[in-house]
């Protein structure tokens, strides 16, 4: 064809922002077995999955933020970064650091409060990764109350990855607050990337407007859950 040089209007389609919050445990125990390194590696390795997904669908443009927590919680990435430009600066553990998970949840709740959260954005995604349980239990309770009092907090896609046997699944289940979505447990460091990938795939499916969370969970999360680790119960019958 000989009309290839005709000028075309510029491309682009309207999309809505999808804000993705990573809440990462940097407590002292994350040093064990190189957990923190595996976590860094796993986050870097899910980025291509997210980039791919973003490319193939028409609704969402992904922005990443990250909160780290140990003796306190702090922004690791404060201003939303487009996923394709994500530059993940590796996290390091805090020597003898506590697990201020509650403070981290309060921070994310603040970020998605109506005054601060982008109005037209899709429901946010909050991914919590830890190898322990909150040491700030009171804050944890307040954090959950704050989170669930917010429209965006209630609507959020909340997923959790527990690293090793020390992670307390019952706190994480309360954070997820959906009986259809189990906690993903990474038995050992090798599994962190595997579980995060499952979480990521589930996030991409659940983010599509009107998707059936339960069915996504059945197809993606359940197969990735080790059937012998359920909730807080380790009795053997």
Partner 1 sequence: MLYPSVGDEVKMKRTNTVIKIESRVAEGGQGVVFRGVDSGGHDLAVKWYRKNKYLERQYNQIENLTNYSRPHPSFAWPIDIVNHPTIVGFGYTMEWVEARFVSLVEVLKKKVQPNFRTLITIGIELNEAFSALHSRGLCYRDINFGNLLVDPYRGDVSIVDNDNIGSESSRQGIKGTLRFMAPELILGNSSPSIVTDLYSLAVFLFYLFMHGHPLEGQKVNASYTWDKGQEQSETVKVTHFFGREPLFVYDPSDASNRPEYDSPVLRWWDIYPEFFKGVFVKAFTTGLKEPSLMKRVTETQWRGALHQLNDQLFSCGCGAAVFKDFDIPDKRCWNCSMTPSSVPILEAPSGACVLSPGFKLTRHHLFKDFDYKDSIGSVEPHPNIPGELIFRNTSNISWIIEPVGEGVKEVKPGQRMQVRPMKMHFDKIGTTISNP
The residues of the shown chain that bind partner 1, judged by CB under 8 A, are 1-14, 16, 49, 52, 55-59, 112, 114, 117, 119-121, 123, 150-152, 155, 197, 201, 204-205, 208-212, 215-216, 218-220, 222-223
Q: Measured from the CB atom, is 160 or 216 closer to partner 1?
A: 216
Q: Measured from the CB atom, is 112 or 176 closer to partner 1?
A: 112
Q: Which helix (H) or strand (E) holds 21?
A: strand 16-25
The contacts of residue 97 (CB under 8 Å, 6+ apart) are 26, 27, 28, 70, 71
Least separation in angstroms between residue 96's CB and partner 1 is: 38
Least separation in angstroms between residue 174's CB and partner 1 is: 21
Least separation in angstroms between residue 190's CB and partner 1 is: 15
Least separation in angstroms between residue 15's CB and partner 1 is: 8
Q: Measured from the CB atom, is 6 or 235 closer to partner 1?
A: 6
Pairing state of beta strands 60-69 and 73-82?
A: antiparallel
Instruction: Report helix, strand or coil for 82.
Output: strand
Contact (Cβ atoms closer than 8 angstroms) between residue 38 and residue 45: no
Distance of CA 58 to the CA centre of its chain: 21
Least separation in angstroms between residue 80's CB and partner 1 is: 15
Distance of CA 192 to the CA centre of its chain: 13
Least separation in angstroms between residue 41's CB and partner 1 is: 17
Q: Report phi then psi at 73, rounded to 5.
A: -110, 145
C-alpha to C-alpha distances, 62 to 54, 55, 137, 209, nearest whole angstrom:
7, 10, 31, 15
> Counting Cβ atoms within 10 Å, is residue 122 exposed (0-12), middle (13-18) or buried (19+)?
buried
Q: Measured from the CB atom, is 9 or 179 closer to partner 1?
A: 9
Contact (Cβ atoms closer than 8 angstroms) between residue 231 and residue 187: no
Q: Measured from the CB atom, is 88 or 117 closer to partner 1?
A: 117
Q: Measured from the CB atom, is 35 or 205 closer to partner 1?
A: 205
Q: How is the beta sheet containing 73-82 ordered, strand by strand?
A: 73-82, 60-69, 16-25, 125-130, 157-163, 184-186
């Amino acid at each position: 064809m000989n009309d290839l040089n005709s000028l075309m209007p510029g491309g682009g389609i309207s999309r809505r922002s999808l804000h993705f919050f990573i809440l990462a445990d940097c407590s002292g125990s994350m040093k064990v077995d190189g957990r923190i390194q595996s976590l860094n590696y796993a986050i870097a390795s899910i980025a291509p999955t997210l980039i791919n997904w973003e490319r193939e669908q028409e609704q969402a443009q992904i922005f990443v933020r990250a909160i780290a927590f140990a003796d306190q919680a702090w922004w690791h990435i404060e201003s939303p970064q487009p996923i394709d430009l994500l530059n993940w600066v590796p996290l390091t553990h805090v020597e003898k650091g506590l697990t201020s998970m509650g403070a981290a949840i309060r921070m994310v709740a603040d970020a998605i409060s109506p005054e601060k959260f982008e109005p037209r954005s899709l429901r946010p995604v909050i991914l919590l990764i830890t190898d322990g349980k909150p040491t700030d239990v009171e804050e944890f309770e307040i954090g959950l109350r704050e989170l669930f009092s917010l429209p965006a907090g209630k609507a959020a896609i909340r997923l959790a990855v527990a690293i090793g046997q020390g992670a307390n699944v019952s706190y994480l289940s309360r954070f997820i607050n959906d009986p259809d979505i189990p906690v993903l447990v990474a038995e050992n460091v090798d599994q962190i990337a595997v579980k995060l990938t499952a979480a990521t795939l589930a996030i991409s499916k659940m983010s599509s407007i009107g998707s059936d969370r339960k069915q996504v969970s059945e197809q993606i999360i359940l197969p990735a859950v080790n059937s012998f680790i359920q909730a807080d119960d380790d009795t053997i019958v």
